[in-house]
Amino acid sequence: MGLSTSIVGMRNQLNSANAVVKSSMQKIASGLKINSAQDDASAYTISVSMSATALSLAQANQNTQTSSAMMSVASGAIGSSVENLSTLKEKLLNAANGTNSDSDISALQKEVDQVTSQLNDNASATFNGKYLIDGSMSGSNASNVQGSNGSDAQLSISDMTAQGLGLQDGNGNSTIDLSSSDGIANAIDLVDTALQSALSQQTQIGAQQQALQYSSDNYATSEYNTIAAQSTIADADVAKESMKMHQGQVLAQVNLLMMAQSNQNGSSVLALLR
């Protein structure tokens, strides 16, 4: 009975040592000291929650960066319209000069109409199939930037088409008429207003991009801190686990040797009893 009890005890120690070796090997392989709720239920829950938070922060950061890229495309398109409007202003000032002949004014009218139509080409700019400056993103159709805890911003861009800027009517006809001095003066006012609208929209986009960059920086910092905190909770100390695995292996070997010795001694006793 004493010999049998001793063997059972050594077998239990062997199983315990093997369990330590298996656990340490798993932690070394995964790099985690908490691989399931069995390892530490409360710490596992906290770790999983932190992992979900880090993923949310990463996606929110990606959302702000993508939105900023979209606004860069919009700003570039509006920049082209600003150049067109500046060209229009130049041509209108030329038309206002009293030295122009009727043929000169006619030629300038054609040039003005051509430049005006280019505003609509600029307004066809898209990002991932989404129209940006044709009024599609204005008012209630503003683009939502989804953050980790709700909407971060509403990105709105006014109508930058020729009609939206007041340089064409609802039928696509030019509102710029160079056939009279009053018409030219009115056209200059229209273009000045359109130019200010375009510049104001560019300024607004710049401010929105600054806010997006600020949000992106905050998300990146929060994600880093969350991952660092999770690492403290969940990551394995490889050196420590290696030492525990080695100790478990040694203990297992010792118990195997002791069991083998016990079995040999038991055989000797049985041989004497025969």
User: CB within 8 A of 124, min separation 6: which ones?
Assistant: 131, 134
**What's the predicted TM-score (pTM) here?**
0.73
Torsion angles phi and psi, residue 95, rounded to 5: -65, -30
pLDDT tens digits, the chain, 274 residues: what are they? 455 556 666 666 666 655 555 665 565 555 556 766 777 788 888 888 988 999 999 999 999 999 999 999 999 999 999 999 999 999 999 999 989 999 999 999 999 999 999 999 999 999 999 999 999 999 899 999 999 888 888 999 999 999 999 999 999 999 999 999 999 999 999 999 999 999 999 999 999 999 999 999 999 999 999 988 888 886 654 556 556 656 656 665 666 676 666 666 555 544 544 5
Sign of the CA dihedral running 74, 80, 86, 87: negative
* Separation of CA 34 from chain center: 28
Q: How far apart are the first and last CA of the chain?
A: 18
Q: At what angle do helices 2-30 and 238-273 cross, to 10 degrees?
A: 160
Q: In a 10 Å sphere around its CB, with 0-12 CB exposed, 13-18 middle and 19+ buried, how is residue 64 labelled?
A: buried
Looking at residue 151, what DSSP letter applies? E
Q: Report how far residue 256's alpha carbon sits from residue 13's, in angstroms, rounded to the nearest whole number.
A: 10
